[in-house]
C-alpha cells in the first residue's frame, strides 16, 4: 500500500512510521521461551493436573534423566501417552501453518496469501472426504491422512503447473488458478458429502473442523519428517524472499532466480501444510493471521519473520488446542472453530488498522 500523496503531517501522525530493524532478531529467544512455557502449561493443564516441574521431571525421566521430582504413575501415563504427543503435534502443525503462511505471503507479495489459497485446504478436504465416502482403507488407519495429503499436494502442484506458462508464472494468474481449483475441489467435496451416509457425515464434519484429538506418538513420527526438514529448508530462502517482496523483476535484477524460488517454496509449503492438514484436518486462519501478528512485532524481514512465524504459529495452536479441549469439558470444541474464532476478529482489526493508518503491512 503505497501512499503517494499523504501529507507530512499525516505521515508524522502515523502510528509506527519508524521501526528499529536490529532489535527484532532478539525477539526470537523470547518467542521460543513463550512457546516452551505454553507447551509446559498446556501439557500440565487438564482433568488430572500436573505441575510444570512435574512435567519437566516426567519428560526428563523418559529421556533417562532422574530428577528426583515426585509424580504419580497416572500423571506419567496421561502426560506421556496422551498430552505430550498432542502438544508436540500441535507445535509441528502450528509451526508448519505459520511459516508456510509467511513464506507464501512473501512469494505472492500479497498479505492475503495463505496455504488455503493455493489449494491445500480444498485439495486436502477432497482427498479426506473421498477416502471417507468411497471407503478407501488400503493403508489402514493411515488411509485418511494419506488421501488428504495427496489431495493437498496434487491440488497445489496443479495450481502451479496450470499457472506456469511460457516458463514464467504471473502471481495474478496463480491466485486466480488457486480460486478456480478451490472451487472445483469444493464442488467435488460437496457432491461426495451429499452422497455420504450419517456415519460418514460425522467423520467428514469432525475432520473438516480440525482436531488434534487423534494425536499419538506414531502420528508425530510420521509427520515430523515432512514438516521439520521443510521448515528448515524454507529458512535458507529468507534473503531471496525479502527481494521477492520488492518485486518480481526487481528480485531478478538483483540476481534471484525467481522461478526457482517460487517453485521451491510452493513445493515445500505444500509438503508441510499437506502433512498438517492430513493429521489435523482444516485449521483456519493460523497461516493467515500469525505472520501478520509477528510482522507487527518483528517487522517484515523474512530472516526473522519466518522463524518467528513458526514459533508464533506453534504457540498459538498449542494454546488454541488447550482451549478446545478444556473450555467445554467433558466435550471438546473443534480446533478449527477455536482458531477461526480468534483469527477472524483479529483479521478484521488488522484490516481496520491498515485502512486507518495506511503504513503498509
CA–CA–CA angle 44, 95, 218 (5° rounding): 65
- Name which of 109 and 164 has its Cβ closer to another protein: 109
Does residue 107 contact residue 265 with C-beta atoms inside 8 Å? yes
Shortest Cβ 294–another protein spacing (Å):
12
With b for 16 or more beta-carbon neighbours within 10 A and e for fewer, the 290-329 pattern comes to bbbbbbeebbbbbebbbbbbbbbbbbbbbbbbbbbbeeee
CB of 254 to another protein, least distance (A): 5
Shortest distance in whole angstroms from residue 92 CB to another protein: 27
Q: How far is CA 313 from CA 58, 166, 320, in A?
A: 26, 36, 10
Report the half-sphere exposure of 3 (CA within 13 A, side-chain side): 15
Give 86 or 292: the residue with its C-beta nearer to another protein.
292
Closer to another protein by Cβ: residue 193 or 264: 264
Name the helix (H) or strand (E) containing 311: helix 302-326
Backbone Cα Rg of the chain: 21
Helices 84-107, 27-44: inter-axial angle, 10-degree rounding? 150
Nearer to another protein by C-beta: 3 or 205? Answer: 3
Q: How far is the CB of 288 from another protein (least distance, A)?
A: 15
State the minimum distance, in angstroms, from the CB of residue 94 to another protein.
22
What's the min distance (Å) between Cβ of 100 and another protein?
A: 17
- Kindly state the greatest CA–CA separation across the chain: 68
CB of 29 to another protein, least distance (A): 22
- Give alpha helix (H) positions in 137-257: 143-163, 171-195, 198-208, 217-236, 238-246, 248-253
Cell of 137: 482403507
Side-chain half-sphere CA neighbours of 110 within 13 A: 13
Nearer to another protein, 1 or 139 (CB): 1
In the complex with another protein, the residue whose CB is nearer, 54 or 100, is: 100
For residues 6 and 186, which CB has a smaller minimum distance to another protein in the complex? 6
Q: Which is nearer to another protein, 141 or 253 (CB)?
A: 253
Min. distance of Cβ 119 from another protein in angstroms?
A: 22
Q: Please, what is the minimum distance in Å from the beta carbon of residue 283 to another protein? A: 24
Query: Is the torsion defined by CA of 330, 335, 336, 340 positive or negative?
Result: positive
- Nearer to another protein among residue 294 and residue 335 (C-beta): 294
CA distances from 217 to 62, 140, 203, 223, 271 (A): 14, 17, 22, 10, 20
Q: Which of 257, 263, 228 is nearest to 103 (CA)?
A: 263
Residue ranges that bind another protein, judged by CB under 8 A? 1-6, 11, 14, 16-21, 109-111, 239, 242-243, 245-247, 249-250, 252-257, 295, 299-301, 358-361
Amino acid at each position: 500500500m503505497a501512499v503517494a500523496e499523504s501529507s507530512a503531517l499525516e505521515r508524522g501522525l502515523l502510528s509506527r512510521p519508524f521501526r528499529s530493524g536490529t532489535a527484532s532478531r532478539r525477539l526470537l529467544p523470547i518467542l521460543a521461551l513463550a512457546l516452551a512455557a505454553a507447551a509446559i502449561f498446556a501439557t500440565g493443564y487438564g482433568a488430572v493436573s500436573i505441575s510444570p516441574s512435574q512435567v519437566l521431571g516426567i519428560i526428563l525421566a523418559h529421556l533417562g534423566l532422574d530428577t528426583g521430582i515426585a509424580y504419580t504413575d497416572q500423571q506419567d501415563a496421561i502426560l506421556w501417552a496422551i498430552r505430550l504427543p498432542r502438544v508436540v503435534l500441535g507445535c509441528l502443525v502450528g509451526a508448519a501453518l505459520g511459516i508456510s503462511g509467511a513464506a507464501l505471503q512473501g512469494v505472492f507479495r500479497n498479505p492475503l496469501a495463505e496455504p488455503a489459497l493455493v489449494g491445500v485446504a480444498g485439495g486436502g478436504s477432497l482427498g479426506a472426504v473421498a477416502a471417507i465416502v468411497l471407503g478407501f482403507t488400503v493403508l489402514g488407519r493411515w488411509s485418511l491422512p494419506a488421501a488428504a495429503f495427496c489431495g493437498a499436494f496434487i491440488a497445489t502442484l496443479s495450481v502451479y503447473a496450470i499457472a506456469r506458462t511460457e516458463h514464467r508464472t504471473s502471481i495474478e494468474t496463480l491466485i486466480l488458478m488457486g480460486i478456480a481449483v478451490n472451487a472445483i475441489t469444493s464442488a467435488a467435496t460437496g457432491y461426495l458429502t451429499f452422497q455420504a451416509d450419517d456415519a460418514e457425515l460425522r467423520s467428514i464434519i469432525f475432520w473438516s473442523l480440525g482436531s488434534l484429538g487423534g494425536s499419538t506418538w506414531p502420528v508425530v513420527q510420521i509427520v515430523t519428517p515432512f514438516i521439520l526438514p521443510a521448515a528448515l529448508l524454507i529458512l535458507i530462502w529468507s534473503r531471496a524472499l525479502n527481494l521477492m517482496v520488492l518485486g518480481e523483476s526487481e528480485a531478478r535484477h538483483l540476481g534471484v532466480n525467481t522461478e526457482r524460488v517460487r517453485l521451491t517454496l510452493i513445493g515445500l509449503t505444500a509438503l508441510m501444510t499437506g502433512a498438517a492438514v492430513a493429521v489435523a484436518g482444516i485449521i483456519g486462519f493460523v497461516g493467515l493471521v500469525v505472520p501478520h501478528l509477528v510482522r507487527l512485532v518483528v517487522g517484515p524481514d523474512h530472516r526473522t519473520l519466518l522463524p518467528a512465524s513458526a514459533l508464533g504459529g506453534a504457540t498459538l495452536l498449542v494454546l488454541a488446542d488447550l482451549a478446545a479441549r478444556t473450555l467445554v469439558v467433558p466435550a471438546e470444541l473443534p480446533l478449527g472453530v477455536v482458531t477461526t474464532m480468534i483469527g477472524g476478529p483479529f483479521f478484521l482489526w488488522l484490516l481496520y488498522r491498515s485502512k486507518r493508518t495506511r503504513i503498509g503491512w
